[in-house]
């Protein structure tokens, strides 16, 4: 994976709900867009909030199962897990107006319920396949790095941890282990290319110099592997001096 230096706030939508319920912030993000987290590597393409009806009748929550599960499986191809995740969604939002913006409390409740009640339904092949697909993307040269990253992370984390937000001490420890164990398996040209792509995404060419400045400053303090896994101290990197031209 190539963990983002800065996180993108998810829009409140089915896609956001699924990101919470079916993969967390990050962890299986597309490395070519630098998630998370999260790179949203297996970004869903579901519609904005659960199907709004033009008429007076409110959306039926059960009618959202199929699109929810289908979008979830694009992030985590695990049918039992995704159906369980929808059941948690249905429970959390059972008394809610589905055309309204979910609250932070609802989103947090959904995340906790999904991890607590559904993570046990995941299998090793399902999680590994999703992780590898997101990590490698379209660049076969990353296979060695991604295989090493998976093995190292798996040695530190439980399967359930791969559908959480990849934040906290145990994740920091796991990322540092990857940076050490997998040293030399990720070419600098690949790492920089993905960093620049993620940094410039949606910003236009005028952001190019600022992104190049950020990369150079990060490299003076950290290895390619440390940048790739996000185990860098941004406060000490001096990125604030890299102004958009």
Residue 230 and residue 173 in contact, taking contact as beta carbons nearer than 8 Å: no
Range of the domain at 26: 1-186
> Are 204 and 179 part of one and the same domain?
no
> Are 55 and 149 part of one and the same domain?
yes
- Residue 68: its pLDDT value, please? 93
d(CA 159, CA 50): 29
> Are 169 and 143 part of one and the same domain?
yes
Please name the residue that has the structure tokens 């282990």. Answer: 177
> Are 154 and 226 part of one and the same domain?
no
Shortest CA distance to 118 belongs to which of 94, 147, 89, 148?
A: 89
User: Which of 143, 162, 186 delimits the end of a domain?
Assistant: 186
Residue 73 CB: number of other CB atoms within 10 A?
20
User: Which of 163, 186, 209 delimits the end of a domain?
Assistant: 186
Task: Please count the CA atoms within 13 angstroms of the CA of 234 that sit on its side-chain side.
Answer: 10
Q: How confident is the model at residue 18 (pLDDT cuts 50, 70, 90)?
A: low
d(CA 243, CA 245): 6
Mean pLDDT calculated for residue range 27-51: 35
> Are 122 and 179 part of one and the same domain?
yes
> Are 39 and 107 part of one and the same domain?
yes
Residue 118 and residue 93 in contact, taking contact as beta carbons nearer than 8 Å: no
Containing 107, the helix (H) or strand (E) segment is: helix 104-118
> Are 151 and 208 part of one and the same domain?
no
The CA R_g of the chain, rounded to the nearest whole Å, is 19
Mean pLDDT calculated for residue range 124-129: 94
Domain count within the chain: 2
> Are 210 and 174 part of one and the same domain?
no
> Are 179 and 110 part of one and the same domain?
yes
> Are 180 and 192 part of one and the same domain?
no
**Sign of the dihedral defined by the CA atoms of residues 83, 88, 90, 91, in that order:** positive
Residue pLDDT, tens place only, 74-122 = 888 999 999 999 999 999 999 888 888 899 999 999 999 999 999 999 9
The CA distances from residue 133 to 13, 145, 203, in Å, are 24, 13, 26
> Are 218 and 166 part of one and the same domain?
no
Question: Which tokens hold the place of 45?
Answer: 């393409």
| Stated pTM of the model | 0.72
Question: Which tokens hold the place of 104?
Answer: 């932070």
pLDDT at position 17 over 50 = yes
> Are 59 and 134 part of one and the same domain?
yes
Question: Which tokens hold the place of 199?
Answer: 């940094």
The CA distances from residue 55 to 13, 58, 66, 100, 220, in Å, are 20, 8, 22, 15, 59
- Residue 208: its pLDDT value, please? 85
């Amino acid at each position: 994976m190539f963990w983002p230096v800065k996180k993108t706030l998810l829009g409140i939508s089915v896609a956001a709900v699924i990101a919470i319920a079916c993969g967390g912030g990050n962890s299986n993000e597309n490395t070519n867009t630098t998630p998370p987290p999260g790179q949203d590597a297996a970004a869903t393409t579901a519609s904005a909030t659960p199907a709004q009806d033009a008429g007076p009748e409110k959306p039926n929550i059960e009618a959202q199962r199929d699109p929810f599960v289908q979008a979830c499986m694009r992030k985590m191809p695990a049918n039992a897990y995704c159906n369980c995740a929808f059941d948690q969604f249905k429970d959390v939002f059972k008394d809610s107006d589905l055309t309204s913006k979910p609250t932070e409390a609802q989103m947090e409740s959904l995340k906790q319920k999904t991890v607590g009640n559904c993570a046990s339904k995941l299998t090793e092949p399902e999680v590994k396949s999703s992780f590898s697909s997101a990590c490698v993307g379209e660049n076969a040269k990353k296979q060695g790095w991604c295989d090493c990253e998976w093995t190292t992370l798996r040695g530190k984390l439980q399967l359930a941890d791969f559908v959480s937000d990849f934040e906290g001490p145990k994740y920091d420890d796991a990322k540092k282990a990857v940076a050490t164990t997998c040293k030399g398996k990720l070419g600098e040209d690949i790492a920089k290319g993905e960093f620049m792509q993620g940094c410039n995404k949606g910003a236009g060419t005028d952001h190019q110099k600022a992104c190049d400045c950020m990369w150079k400053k990060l490299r003076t303090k950290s290895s390619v592997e440390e940048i790739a896994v996000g185990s860098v101290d941004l406060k000490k990197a001096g990125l604030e001096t890299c102004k958009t031209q």
